[in-house]
A and B are shown apart, each in its own frame.
Chain A
């Protein structure tokens, strides 16, 4: 158990809908990262927040957005969902803003029908 929690575990929704994924980092960690893992694209970095501020952006679509709240939990919002958005979404956390020691959560499996 990494200490990172993610909810929900599974999410099934329809195209065009909007969903919110939630992540709570390990106690003491200030950075939260979001990743998408699909069979054809592998693990892709989406975005990083550090202590409430956006720190780095990866391959995140404009339909996706994230935020980190004062209690350091983070939410990833996915809108206008498409079939291709079906994937595992992982959250990871680390103490600092660098990425050498990230700890991953169990993931949320999103299925878009």
Chain B
């Protein structure tokens, strides 16, 4: 079993839809949780990070962490074609040991 599981998709939604991206993990020692967005042929770009259970909102993006279920989510409201990218979850333990999910490829169709 991988430490971090993420459905690779692909996921295709119409413009304006609410998108839900998810990761599960097995290591309860993970301390920080992040979401990265990666456009084709570009480096990952940090979208959000959090270290506690609950929700964190930033514009159209909401990151949700449920440590008891070892489950994290990223919600995108009012999705736009410019949101089309691969989304990677990432988790950190021991302050500098990082694990990434496989990434979910999202396409938002106009």
Query: Which A residues form the contact surface with B (CB < 8 A)?
Result: 2, 4, 33, 42-45, 48, 55-56, 58, 90, 92, 97-107
Given contact pairs A58-B97, A99-B32, a sample of 11 additional A-B residue pairs in the complex whose CB atoms are under 8 Å apart: A33-B98, A43-B44, A45-B100, A90-B43, A92-B43, A98-B92, A99-B95, A99-B96, A100-B32, A104-B36, A106-B42
- Contact B45 A104, beta carbon cutoff 8 Å: yes
B56 to chain A, nearest CB (A): 13
Complex contacts, B102 vs chain A, CB 8 Å? 42
Bound together, the chains give a CA A98 to CA B92 distance in angstroms of 9
Most buried by A among B36, B43, B101: B43
| B interface secondary structure, majority | strand
Who on chain B is nearest to A57 by CB? B97
A33 to chain B, nearest CB (A): 8
Which 5 pairs show the lowest CB-CB distances between chains A and B? A104-B43, A43-B100, A56-B96, A42-B102, A104-B44
Most buried by A among B44, B49, B88: B44
Complex contacts, B95 vs chain A, CB 8 Å? 97-99
Known: A42-B101, A42-B103. A97 touches B43 (CB 8 A): no
Most buried by B among A33, A42, A48, A101: A42
Known: A43-B88, A97-B95, A98-B95. A103 touches B100 (CB 8 A): no
B interface residues, tally (CB under 8 Å) = 22
Bound together, the chains give a CA A106 to CA B40 distance in angstroms of 11
Q: Does any Cβ of A come within 8 Å of B74's Cβ?
A: no
Bound together, the chains give a CA A99 to CA B99 distance in angstroms of 11
Q: Does any Cβ of A come within 8 Å of B17's Cβ?
A: no
Query: In B9-53, which residues have CB < 8 Å from any A CB?
Result: 32, 34, 36, 42-46, 49, 51
- Contact B43 A106, beta carbon cutoff 8 Å: yes
Complex contacts, B92 vs chain A, CB 8 Å? 98-100
Complex contacts, B51 vs chain A, CB 8 Å? 100
- Contact B46 A107, beta carbon cutoff 8 Å: no
A46 to chain B, nearest CB (A): 11
Bound together, the chains give a CA A15 to CA B94 distance in angstroms of 36
